Amino acid sequence: MQYEIETGGRTRQVTVTRAGDGFTVSVDGRSVQVNAARIDAYTLSLLIDVGATPAPSVGGGPAVGGIQGSHEVTIAPDPVTRQLTVRVGTTPMTVGLNGRRRWGRKEEGGHAASGPQRVVAPMPGKIVRVLVKPGDPVRARQGLVVIEAMKMENELRAARDGTVTEVQAREAMSVDAGTVLVVIA
């Protein structure tokens, strides 16, 4: 099984093959032995290179260092970004599979590092205030829309500088998670 997996802005070529009662996983040419136990639909316990001789590196790829040992990992789809959220211990990461990942972790929520920023509702709620109109120049972290959910008013902000090209949010409008509210070019 071969996958293209992206995390932290880096795409890696990954191959998974059965090896005894575990797997040999090759990441960019460097292999590790993995004993994987499924705990439930979202949880894996991984023993990486534990009690096994590390497989030789194929093709002299970059080393996968410092990952030996026991790791508990949860893997769940993120309903907003529609990527996988993978937690190693309690560290969450957004992971794209087979090149489907679009955006880096820091721009999560639909703010591409280049091209138009589509600011979406991160959760269902009600639009309380719209702070910008088409044509407005905006600075990074400037407030765009105030949305009310879970008893709190939350300000959605611009990820970076730009000009507002579209405002679909209207005051008092109810929105679902993922609804595009403002577009910034």
Partner 1 sequence: MSFVSSVVESSPLKKILIANRGEIAVRIARACREMDLSPIAVYSECDRAALHVRFADEAYPIGPSAPRESYLRIDRLIDAAKQAGADAVHPGYGFLAENEDFAAAARDAGLTFIGPTPEAIALMGSKTAARVAAKRAGVPVVPGTEDPLSAEVTDVEIARIADTIGYPLLVKAVAGGGGKGMRTVRDPAELASAVRAARSEAGAAFGDAAVYLERQLTRPRHIEVQLLGDQHGTVLPFVERECSIQRRHQKVVEETPSLAVSPALRVEMTAAAAAVARAVGYTNAGTIEFLLDEDGRFYFLEMNTRLQVEHPITEMVSGVDLVRWQIRIARGERLDLSPERLLTPAGHAIECRIYAEDPDNSFLPSPGRILHLRAPAGPGIRDDSGATAGLDVPIFYDPMISKLIAWAEDRPLALARMRRALGEYIVAGIKTTVPFFTWLFAQPEFVESRFHTTYLDEVLTAREGRPFVEPRPEEEAIATIAAAIQAALSPAAVASASNGAANADAPPGRWKARARTEGLC
Instruction: Give yes or no for a contact between 149 and 156, defined as CB atoms under 8 angstroms apart.
Output: no
Phi, psi angle pair for 106, to nearest 5°: -70, -20
Tell me the number of residues near partner 1 by CB under 8 A. Answer: 75
Q: Enter the tokens of residue 43.
A: 């949880």
67 part of the interface to partner 1, by CB under 8 A = yes
* Residue selected from 58, 75, 113, 185 as contacting partner 1 according to rule CB under 8 A: 75
Site for partner 1 in 118-147 (CB under 8 A): 122-125, 141
Site for partner 1 in 142-181 (CB under 8 A): 149-152, 154-157
Find, among 184, 154, 155, the residue nearest to 168 by Cα. 184
Beta bridge partners of 167: 182
41 part of the interface to partner 1, by CB under 8 A = yes
Torsion of CA 164, 167, 172, 175, to 10 degrees: -110
* Residue selected from 56, 66, 115, 135 as contacting partner 1 according to rule CB under 8 A: 66
Please give the angle made by the CA atoms of 184, 7 and 175, to the nearest 5 degrees: 40
* Residue selected from 84, 127, 164, 169 as contacting partner 1 according to rule CB under 8 A: 84
Minimum CB separation from partner 1 for residue 123, in Å?
A: 5
Site for partner 1 in 44-63 (CB under 8 A): 44, 46, 48
14 part of the interface to partner 1, by CB under 8 A = yes
Stretch that binds partner 1, among 50-58, 91-99, 112-120, 161-169 (CB under 8 A): 91-99
Coil, strand, or helix at residue 18?
strand
Phi, psi angle pair for 105, to nearest 5°: -55, -45
* Residue selected from 20, 53, 60, 91 as contacting partner 1 according to rule CB under 8 A: 91
